[in-house]
Amino acid sequence: MLDEEETADKQLRTSHGNRWTRTPSERLTESIRAEAARYRQIIDNAITADGIVRQRYTQHREGFELLSRSDVSICSRCHLSHSLL
């Protein structure tokens, strides 16, 4: 949307020359674009982090499932005697 507005501003500036006295769009939107880029980076970092968590969860899913079971079930899976508990 900002790109479209900037394009229109440039076209009008070209068409009207010195009569188009409005502040150039690129200067008006500079801070908004910088903030949008910063938030885009934050979102990209979150997407990357989510992927890492998803991959690690998948890698260790069997262990999570095992740890959610009863002590007896865990011990039988680990080949430990129930009497050790």
How many CA within 13 A on the CB side of residue 30? Answer: 5
82/71 Cα distance (integer angstroms): 8
42/45 Cα distance (integer angstroms): 5
- pLDDT above 90: residue 33: yes
Q: Quick one: pLDDT at residue 63?
A: 87
Most confident of 6-10, 48-52, 64-68: 48-52
| DSSP run (H or E) holding 64 | helix 30-67
Q: Binning pLDDT at 50, 70 and 90, where does residue 36 land? A: very high
- pLDDT above 90: residue 43: yes
- For residues 50 and 44, the answer to whether their CB atoms sit within 8 Å is no
Q: Quick one: pLDDT at residue 8?
A: 94
Q: Where are the domains of the chain?
A: 31-85
